[in-house]
Structure 1
Amino acid sequence: MYRMTDEEFEAAIEAAIDAMPQQFLDALQNVAIVWEEEPNAYHLGYDEDEWDTEEPLDDANENDGDEASGAETCEEAEGESLPDDLLGLFDGLSLVERAGSYDDDIPDVITVFKGPHERCFDSREEIVEEVGKTIIHELGHYFGLTEEQLAAMGYE
């Protein structure tokens, strides 16, 4: 497991955004891209009363809760089953779902999770690459792509 400083992780996110084609960036409307250390109950699709916040997230932590939609996990990135290792999440309405009646007061949010990236990947280079893939995956959900479509494009 490789640990990044917060500044390194922020730089990886900025580099991923800077590497995006301008046409995609121009198409983003009211979308915030943020990062958090770990996913919380909301991100993982749990009700607050179902979630034990005292239990640390690690490779051995198993649960059967539904993951939030628009999420990429280590399982998808690595082919292993690590259900609490949510790499990223799109929380909002895709462009397809907006269809004319969208109130853009609150931005849609793409969240990238630092801890799971560190647990899933063994080097700085791998983390930086996967942060980029995670952002593209979540932007795919913003543009209305399904998990199957993203997988077909190589962004599982």
Structure 2
Amino acid sequence: MDMTAEEFEALVVDELDRLPDDMVDGLDNVVFVVEDEPEDGSDLFGLYEGVALTERGQYGTGELPDRIVVYRHAHLAACEDEAELRDEIHTTLVHEIAHFYGIDDEQLHELGWA
């Protein structure tokens, strides 16, 4: 599948807007970023960079925002059409947001999101 960076980013924003309010309302000091691929060349769909909500102690004064990165190339390589791409972006967003809330990969597997 082929799509410009701008078109892909618009899909990510659209899928973010479709997430339930109770999932995104608690996201404090988090930015969403679209990048082509991880610097290490891995085939990740997304990455959460930050300190999970469950692990925060003194927090709230001067910290850089946590980041949720969605990688464009991995998504495009794995999907055949826009509907499949939207589903995969949605799953990636839920997966990475779950990490923000302190849900690990094992729990995500149990819930069917990994």
If the length of structure 1 is used for normalisation, what is the TM-score? 0.68
Question: Letter of the aligned partner of 2:106 in structure 1?
Answer: E
CA RMSD of aligned residues (A): 1.3
State the identity %: 38
Q: Distance in 1 between matches of 2:86 and 2:10?
A: 9
Instruction: Name 1:101's counterpart in structure 2.
Output: 58
Q: Distance in 2 between matches of 1:19 and 1:4?
A: 21
Question: Letter of the aligned partner of 1:13 in structure 2?
Answer: V
Instruction: Name 1:37's counterpart in structure 2.
Output: 36
Q: Is residue 128 from structure 1 mapped to residue 93 from structure 2 by the alignment? A: no
- Per the alignment, do residues 125 and 104 of structure 1 end up closer, same or farther by CA in structure 2, a change over 3 Å counting? farther
Give the secondary-structure state (helix, strand or coil) at the position aligned to 1:32. strand
Give aligned pairs, total.
113
Question: Letter of the aligned partner of 1:22 in structure 2?
Answer: D
Q: Is residue 91 from structure 1 mapped to residue 90 from structure 2 by the alignment? A: no
Alignment of 1:5-154 (within 5 A): 5-41=4-40, 84-98=42-56, 100-102=57-59, 103-154=61-112
If the length of structure 2 is used for normalisation, what is the TM-score? 0.91
Q: CA deviation at 1:7?
A: 2.3
Question: Letter of the aligned partner of 2:78 in structure 1?
Answer: C
Structure with the largest fraction of helix: 2
Q: Distance in 2 between matches of 1:16 and 1:136?
A: 10
